Amino acid sequence: MIHSRIVGTGSFLPGEPVTNSDLVARGIDTSDQWIVERTGIHSRHLAADGVSCSELAEAASRRAIEAADVDPASIDLIIVATSTPDYIFPSSAALLQARLEIRNGGAAFDVQAVCSGFVYALTVADKFIRSGSHKRALVVGAEVFSRILDWKDRATCVLFGDGAGAVIVEAAERPGLLASAIHADGAYNPILCVPGSVSGGTVIGDPFLRMDGQAVFKFAVRVLGDVAQEVLTDAGLGTDDVDWLIPHQANIRILQATAKRLGVSMSRVVTTVDQHGNTSAASIPLALDLALRDGRIRAGSKVLLEGVGGGFTWGAVLLDM
């Protein structure tokens, strides 16, 4: 039987950290205390003008390729999870393929599931590999959310940051991805969305991110708890078998409430939201790479990834590293 395993990770954050005080200095009506008390965020990274999603994805991907010690030409599947692509088309995955000079005709496409995007993309890559159609995949979460923020709306603009995380997934005899589940309910779309589009060269509607924070919090905590239990049951394991929980890094209160609902100590939760902010589809792979490189996650660790995002989408993946 064919299984899939993660064999290398990489991440990239653009520029220097932008602190809460830096945002105040830029004229945003807020304070460090207000942001920290409500979100746990101290800083985030913001891409410079002209820096694209595929550029961030390339930097993270090259680090993952180096960590996996593989030939880029052997990658026959590229999936980029993003809500902030370079263009309407072609996909950021195709642009990333060109940046990496991969010319083998392998598949490349984007997945748009907002903050659940990386979980969705990893689940899709696993299906491709287990089917036998592809042998090695590059899965990336990359975002430049700073481009869709209303910097006059302090309730949302202070929450988000830019960045990218990547993993190399390949066919293996021993399972690395033990279970996964992805879900959506489009009826919840109004509570977190960017309700705009482009038509005839003109923006139609609202081009900025809009969010009902309280509604998102309640929904996120419920579905994150449910989907975590779903994949653990599917794998025949319990929460005590999980060494590390890596939730989507949206808000420290959501992380704490999710961990409490699952009965997992915060000492077993990888937390990066304080330094990265909410990087949407990039948040989970960024946290995974950090915890692998600092030695917290080791070979044999059981790691539960879970995400929830606009759509509304949610999902989880259980890994044996």
Pairing of strands 202-205, 302-309: unpaired
Residue 166 contacts residue 172 (beta carbons within 8 Å): no
Residue 186 amino acid letter: G
Give the CA distances from residue 272 to residues 21, 158, 161, 196, 250, in Å, rounded to whole numbers and listed in that order.
19, 15, 12, 30, 10
Answer yes or no: 193 catalytic.
Answer: no
Residues 165, 308: Cα–Cα separation, whole Å: 17
Which structure tokens are listed for 319? 């890994």
Phi-psi map region of 163: left, alpha, beta (phi>0 left; psi -120 to 50 alpha): left
Residue 272 contacts residue 152 (beta carbons within 8 Å): no
* Catalytic choice (45, 134, 248, 276): 248
Tell me the CB-side half-sphere exposure of residue 52, using CA atoms within 13 A.
13
* Catalytic choice (115, 157, 193, 276): 115
Which structure tokens are listed for 164? 């990218």
Residue 92 amino acid letter: S
* Catalytic choice (45, 53, 193, 278): 278
Answer yes or no: 278 catalytic.
Answer: yes
Answer yes or no: 248 catalytic.
Answer: yes
Residues 9, 64: Cα–Cα separation, whole Å: 4
| Angle between the N-to-C axes of helices 117-131 and 283-293, in degrees from 0 to 180, rounded to the nearest 10 | 80
For residue 208, which of 105, 84, 88, 71 has the smallest C-alpha distance? 84
| Bridge partners, 6 (sequence order) | 169
Residue 270 amino acid letter: V
Can you tell me which residue has the tokens 């820096």?
Answer: 51
Q: How many CB atoms are closer than 10 A to CB 153?
A: 15
Residues identified as active-site = 115, 248, 278
